[in-house]
Structure 1
Amino acid sequence: MIAFTYVKTWLKAGKTSDFPSNRGGCLKYKDKQIAIINFERKKEWYARQNACPHKMKMALSRGMLGSMGDIPKISCHLHKRTFSLVDGTNLNGDDLKIATYSVKIVGDEVFVGFLD
């Protein structure tokens, strides 16, 4: 389970069955597109910015999951940029980073946390 920062709003993203195993899905909250990632192989869930910051294409929900050592990662299938699912840092060494959001599973429902 991931430690949570203060969250003001929990948005129900859907049922766990709505998100494919070892893949992602997407939801829109206000002006944000959020990739919801069911990393079943690691038994972990993540909510991250869907836009690849390299070209700002909405692509990370369809990204390729894997690990770099012990760090779970997602790679943009369009641009091959790779980001840590833990903190959003770019694992290719670029200055680009993706936004991270809290996610929690309650029963069979997925919730994403927002500060606003």
Structure 2
Amino acid sequence: MTDTLTARWEKICPQRHVEPERGVAALVGDAQVAIFRTYDGQLFAIDNRDPIAGANVMSRGIVGSRGDVPTVASPLHKEVYDLRTGECLDVAGVAVRTFPVRVRGDMVEVCAR
């Protein structure tokens, strides 16, 4: 869990700019981050770098679900990742880094650990 008193939160954009089922890319510290909002309003932030292809494209991924698990599929090779944990659901041992994300006022913020 991130200590909210010492964490460095970076403002990304107004929440309305993160459309449901779409991704937004942002630079947080020195990391490219992909931010997603699901239809139920939940926000998730993961590394924008596809760990298999090595390209910064995850913000262009296909948002969906497997059962109750919110997911994004890589736009390149279609591997599916759990947005909550970053774990790849198709390839064992592969994952993307996740980032804490929140809304303050109307601004989406991501924690730059």
TM-score of the superposed pair, with normalisation by structure 1? 0.88
- Kindly report structure 1 stretches of 4+ aligned residues shifted beyond 6 Å: none
Distance apart, 1:22 and its partner CA = 1.4
Pairing 1:1-116 to 2, within 5 Å after superposition: 4-7=1-4, 8-39=7-38, 41-115=39-113
Query: Aligned residues, how many?
Result: 111
Two-structure CA RMSD over aligned residues (Å): 1.3
8 Å CA contact 2:45, 2:98 repeated in 1: yes
C-alpha distance in structure 1 between counterparts of 2:103 and 2:89, whole Å: 27
Between Structure 1 and Structure 2, which shows a larger proportion of strand residues?
1
Identity percentage of aligned residues: 29
Point out where structure 1 has 5 or more consecutive residues left out of the alignment. none
Point out where structure 2 has 5 or more consecutive residues left out of the alignment. none
TM-score of the superposed pair, with normalisation by structure 2? 0.91
